Amino acid sequence: MCRHVGWLGAPRSVASLLLEPAHALLVQSYAPRRQKHGLMNADGWGVGFFSPDVDGNAPCRWRSAAPLWGDASFASVAPALHSACIVGAVRSATVGMPIEPTASAPFTDGTWLLSHNGLVDRAVLPLSATAESTVDSALLAAHIFERGIDRLGDTVAEVGAADPGARLNILAANGSELVATTWGDTLSVLRTPDGVALASEPYDDDPAWQEVPDRHLVRSDGTRVDVTALKGTV
């Protein structure tokens, strides 16, 4: 199991989202509050963000196989990294899966960033030459990218039907939109005057956080938040 967080809105520092809040991903890497499976997330971390200084607005990424709490270099640089769209994740590796930087979310197709919180039987996923790793999350990300984010809800429902034990919480962003699913684990949304945050669990105790029901699709443009039930689940 893993934890992830996404932001879309006014530019903010990466540190302000991943490191500084009282219950940020940094804390969730060793003491998550709402994680249903596993006790910590020490098998890697990653962050991706969009910068207007990058040609084509392709996402920038920083990933590691080490625990987030032990990366002093990232902690020193993160306050200087600012973006209007950020996706971060900490990883708890599924038993038998490799621990390597390429196994840590967010994954990308060059346009989108994507994180998977959960697990899935790799046997129900097609082989992909574009997958960044052999881990289940990387194969799932490649499958989602190949089918298109616009079909995310259908893809998650179909994979969930093929593997009834799968947990398929997805969080994706492309710089102008956040898209997420709940399927077997927690997700909360926070609307603020500056933007919208989606997170596996709230990173602070703001009472404005709202829990997203299981088996739902979330879309946000940084202001509006639309939540709909996934196909075939109502």
pLDDT in tens, the chain (234 residues): 699 999 999 999 999 999 999 999 999 999 989 887 777 888 999 999 999 888 778 999 999 999 999 999 999 999 999 999 999 999 998 777 889 999 999 999 999 999 999 999 999 999 999 999 999 999 999 999 999 999 999 999 999 999 999 999 999 999 999 999 999 999 999 999 999 999 999 999 999 999 999 999 999 999 999 999 998 665
Residue 170 included in any domain? yes
**Count of alpha carbons within 13 Å of 129, Cβ hemisphere only?**
0
Q: How many domains does the chain have?
A: 1
Residue 205 included in any domain? yes
8 Å CB contact between 70 and 2 = no
Residue 130 included in any domain? yes
Residues 6+ apart with CB under 8 A from 229: 213, 215, 216, 217
Question: Mind telling me the catalytic residues?
Answer: 2
Q: What CATH number should be reported for the domain holding residue 146?
A: 3.60.20.10
Q: What are the structure tokens assigned to 220, written together?
A: 């946000």
Q: Which domain holds residue 178?
A: 2-229
Residue 163 included in any domain? yes
8 Å CB contact between 19 and 108 = no
Cα dist from 10 to 85, 168, 176, 204, whole Å: 8, 28, 11, 19
Residue 234 included in any domain? no
8 Å CB contact between 208 and 133 = no
What's the whole-model pTM score? Answer: 0.96
